[in-house]
Amino acid sequence: MSWTQAWALARLQRYRQVGTVLDRALAEPALAAPWATRMRALLPLVAAAGGDYDQAAVAATGALAEATRLSDGLAAALAANALGVALWYKGDRAGALTAAERGLAALGDDAETADLRLLLLANRLSTLTTLDRIAEAEVALRELLAAAERSAAPSRMASIRCAAAELYHQVGRWDDALAELETAADLDSWMTVQNRRLVHQLWALIAGHRDDQATADAHVRSVPPIASGEGLSSEEYLVMARAVLAERRAGPEQALAELAGMLDPAAAGHLSEQHLWLPDVVRLALAVGDQDTARRAADACTPADGGTAPSRAAAWHRCQGLLHDDPEPLAMAADTYRTVSFRVLLAQTLEDAAVVLAGHDDVPAARTAYAEAVEIYIGLGARWDLLRAGSRLRPHGIRRPRGSGRGRLAAGWDALTPTELQVARLVAEGRPNADVAAALSLSRRTVDVHVSHILTKLRARSRVEIARHAAAQPAAAIGRPGV
């Protein structure tokens, strides 16, 4: 019963109480293995929650050795999870991934340990994403979603939906991210405060880039406030969203004011997304003539993980290219973003490169970079980014390339995202949503959301009409089978 109570409290992130329960149980002289081992394996999470990651790593390593000696898979998985958390916050992302893999190997597929398995699968997904191993992350996400459909409690499912949305946001699959956020929002009463924050922040950020200011404002207002002492680590996306809205409405100076507070180490806490916003700080600071802030942001953009994640190194190159008005580092950053499939950051870097190249009178190269950025922005539906890029290039006599659209199509078959194309194809075959969900490793609710979006985009009223639209398309436009 002590073990059950401690695990439930840990899932509620009430770690101080976890420590009290475990200390009381471990003080019982009659407590024998495997329970003592399992409790010692869970205890390092308490130290990690208190910010003592060194102590947590040492304790988790010892617990893992003890669990391995006793051949207790559950204790080994618990210790590996705690070790992964400690290593993550110590900046050792590769070590955290190894710990998650070790925990999964020790655990097996018992129903009793299904929630711990989901936690380890989710940690593996997050770590792969942070390491920019996107192809592996997408495979890990499919495995996680399939397992979650079998056994996830609503609170765990909400957390998994948020993790999926973060991955889709990062790689520029914004419609898929919004579908996951919409699905997660249905579980609002089950969500942790942290996940509720993430849902509204990501939604606001995507809406801001799409120039849907009313939606962005609504989600900004809906973000739960942070508790005293939490710092900005749980509000990075919110600050980014406010900066997008501020630049759209009032210009770069107000946007810079929103982001600049995260440069203060005392206020920042454990920020994990600096590579997403530090280049914007450099860009905005240079736009208003604030060289000091631009230099501070560029200096802060040193990859914290030793360069193991290519996108962190690319952010540094982008900052240097902006700061020194040098197109070469910007080209290096663009090549990296292209390699790791980060379409949003690629487009923003190409936009920066076009401005710098135009300033060096290399108009042909500037036009080429701008044209590629425009096509990506159109695919994302990033209307504000299109407007911003146009305003930056117009003084150099460079306008949007002929033949490029004015924005992403809002209706018709060509407006469907890759995931929506897959769903539409399976619906057209007459398969019910439950079968579609199983085929694509999605939840039934997520498929419901996609079908609703498909009906809206096709201006259709039934699944039969979806099938008619599909039948009218060339074979190449129907979408590939799900995997």
Q: What is the DSSP string of 374-438?
A: HHHHHHHT-HHHHHHHHHHHGGGT--PPTT--SS---SSGGG--HHHHHHHHHHHTT--HHHHHH
| Helix or strand (DSSP H, E) at 337 | helix 327-340
pLDDT score of 230: 61
Tell me which architecture the domain covering 413-477 has in CATH.
Orthogonal Bundle (1.10)
Quick check: 158 and 187 in contact, CB under 8 A? yes
Query: For position 229, what pLDDT does the model report?
Result: 56
pLDDT of res. 267: 60
Q: Which of 416, 406, 340, 336 is nearest to 377 (CA)?
A: 406
| Residue (of 160, 197, 156, 161) closest to 178 by Cα position | 161
CATH topology of domain 2-156: 1.25.40
Q: Counting beta carbons within 10 angstroms of the beta carbon of residue 375, is it exposed (0 to 12), middle (13 to 18) or buried (19 or more)?
A: middle
Place of tokens 């999870």: 81
pLDDT, residue 480, reads 41
pLDDT of residue 404: 59
AA letter at 95: G
Residues 6+ apart with CB under 8 A from 74: 34, 38, 107, 113, 116
What is the pLDDT at residue 78? 92
Alpha helices by DSSP H, 131-272: 134-151, 154-171, 174-185, 193-209, 213-222, 236-250, 252-260, 265-268
Which residue type does 431 have? R
Q: Dihedral of CA 302/306/311/317: which sign?
A: positive
Task: Check residue 410 and give its pLDDT.
Answer: 64
Cβ contact 262:271 at 8 Å: yes
For the chain, the domains span: 2-156, 194-269, 273-408, 413-477
- Residue 262: both structure tokens together: 């995260």
Residue 212: CA count within 13 A, CB half-sphere: 13
Q: Which residues of the chain have pLDDT under 50?
A: 305-307, 407, 479-483
pLDDT of res. 474: 80
